[in-house]
């Protein structure tokens, strides 16, 4: 058993460094690793993010690179002399409100360019943040219970988001073992977290806002039996660190390189709607007992809405708030095991479900007054 590899002396690039996951990863790298430099790559690096990292910076240099992931010259500057890239940045969209070309440009072309620049600039390790949605669920809503990396599933993807993430993941894994300019080899892997929650999660804020508008009653959009297993953000960033350590370790690199790993933790499986309720019930929210309409009628309505929007598309672009694929996502049992990440990467959840729930609910409580004020005054 080899001693755990460290990233001491490394120069790490984090794309999407100011996002929900990115800023947590930067903080963890500062707290746990003596890296020489961390490069925060994002379209817009807010000053408060940098200020929030000052207290744990130590000797590490924090550099800011603001620009577009589709700009090769910008990427060359950002990656010159780097050793490890954590590629987190992507466009996330489940309502199909983002044009496909934009989605493809950022999620696929951006990833492809990053990989090419890694090869030109001799970057040894590349960790790609994928998603469980590259598996599905498929439009038939076929369930997966405690799925593993070997689970066989009829993956038919409808969302532009899932499709572009899947292609970017494939390109990442195919690039494993490519020869770098200096004769070394590129090592890549992909991490597929389930739905990521925690302090700072904007999706939870949306649901809380809807609940406030609905007289403190959360909407039920998923059947209670449609279980998923969300994962706490603190556990996801720890898995990223373990992946980077593994790719740097000569004894583990060949085992991990070119592979993907599902990331979950010990959050108990439940439906998306019940999960929101568990986090928000301590704040005085109740939840609807049943779906607003039977699921079959909901599907028909979504189909009609999508058809009308498609007819109007040449004149005006209207995005329905719910579509059939989102309804399927919210109502399909889709749970995954983290055992392979545990075995290969040495990943184990750092935060228990109790701790993760407490932190998330406390954060939501801190946001509640401002959310109420915003909604009541609008």
Domain ranges of the chain: 11-202+230-271+334-354
What integer pLDDT is reported at residue 4 of this predicted model?
A: 75
Centroid of chain to Cα 9:
27
What integer pLDDT is reported at residue 49 of this predicted model?
A: 85
Range 101-106, long-range pairs (CB < 8 A, 24+ positions):
103/160, 103/161, 103/164, 104/160, 104/164, 105/70, 106/69, 106/70
CB atoms within 10 A of CB 10: 20
Mean pLDDT per segment of 10 residues, for the chain of length 378 residues? 76 96 96 95 87 88 95 97 97 86 96 98 98 95 97 92 97 98 97 97 95 96 97 98 97 96 98 98 97 92 89 85 91 98 97 98 97 89
Centroid of chain to Cα 63:
23
Q: What whole-number distance in Å separates Cα of residue 263 and Cα of residue 231?
A: 7
What integer pLDDT is reported at residue 2 of this predicted model?
A: 45
* Exposure letters 247-281 (e unless 16+ CB within 10 A, then b): bbbeebbeebbbbbbbbbbbbebbbbbbbbbbbbe
Residue 122 CA: distances (Å) to CA of 5, 13, 74, 85, 220 = 20, 13, 16, 11, 50
Residues forming the active site = 161
What integer pLDDT is reported at residue 346 of this predicted model?
A: 96
What integer pLDDT is reported at residue 270 of this predicted model?
A: 98
Q: What whole-number distance in Å separates Cα of residue 244 and Cα of residue 13?
A: 12
In the numeric block, which tokens belong to residue 133? 């949605």
Q: Which of 303, 341, 346, 308 is nearest to 322 (CA)?
A: 303
Centroid of chain to Cα 117:
23
ω into 174 cis (within 30 of 0): no
What integer pLDDT is reported at residue 79 of this predicted model?
A: 98
**CATH top-level class of 11-202+230-271+334-354:** alpha beta
Sign of CA dihedral 230, 235, 240, 244: negative
């Amino acid at each position: 058993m080899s001693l755990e590899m460290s990233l001491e002396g490394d120069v790490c690039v984090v794309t999407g460094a100011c996002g929900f996951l990115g800023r947590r990863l930067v903080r963890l790298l500062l707290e746990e690793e003596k890296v020489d430099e961390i490069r925060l790559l994002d379209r817009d690096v807010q000053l408060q993010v940098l200020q929030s990292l000052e207290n744990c910076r130590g000797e590490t240099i924090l550099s800011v690179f603001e620009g577009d992931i589709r700009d090769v010259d910008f990427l060359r500057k950002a990656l010159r002399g780097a050793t490890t890239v954590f590629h987190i940045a992507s466009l996330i969209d489940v309502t199909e409100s983002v044009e496909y070309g934009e989605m493809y440009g950022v999620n696929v072309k951006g990833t492809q360019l990053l990989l090419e620049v890694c090869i030109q600039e001799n970057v040894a390790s590349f960790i790609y943040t994928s998603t469980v949605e590259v598996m599905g669920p498929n439009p038939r809503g076929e369930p997966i219970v405690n799925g593993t990396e070997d689970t066989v599933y009829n993956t038919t993807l409808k969302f532009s988001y899932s499709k572009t993430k899947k292609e970017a993941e494939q390109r990442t894994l195919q690039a494993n073992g490519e020869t770098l300019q200096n004769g070394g080899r590129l090592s890549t892997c992909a991490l597929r977290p389930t739905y990521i929650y925690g302090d700072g999660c904007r999706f939870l804020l949306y649901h809380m806002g809807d609940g406030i508008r609905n007289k403190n009653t959360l909407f039920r959009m998923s059947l209670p039996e449609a279980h998923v297993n969300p994962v706490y953000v603190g556990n996801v960033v720890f898995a990223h660190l373990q992946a980077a350590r593994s790719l740097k370790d000569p004894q583990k690199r060949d085992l991990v390189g070119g592979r993907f790993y599902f990331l979950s933790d010990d959050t108990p499986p439940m439906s998306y709607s019940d999960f929101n309720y568990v986090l928000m019930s301590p704040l005085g929210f109740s939840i609807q007992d049943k779906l607003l309409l039977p699921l079959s009628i909901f599907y028909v309505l979504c189909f009609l809405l999508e058809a009308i929007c498609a007819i109007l598309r040449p004149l005006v672009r209207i995005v329905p708030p719910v579509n059939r694929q989102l309804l399927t996502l919210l109502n399909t049992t889709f749970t995954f095991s983290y055992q392979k990440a545990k075995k290969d990467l040495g990943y184990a959840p750092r935060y228990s479900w109790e701790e993760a729930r407490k932190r998330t609910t406390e954060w939501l409580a801190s946001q509640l007054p401002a959310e109420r004020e915003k909604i009541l005054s609008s």
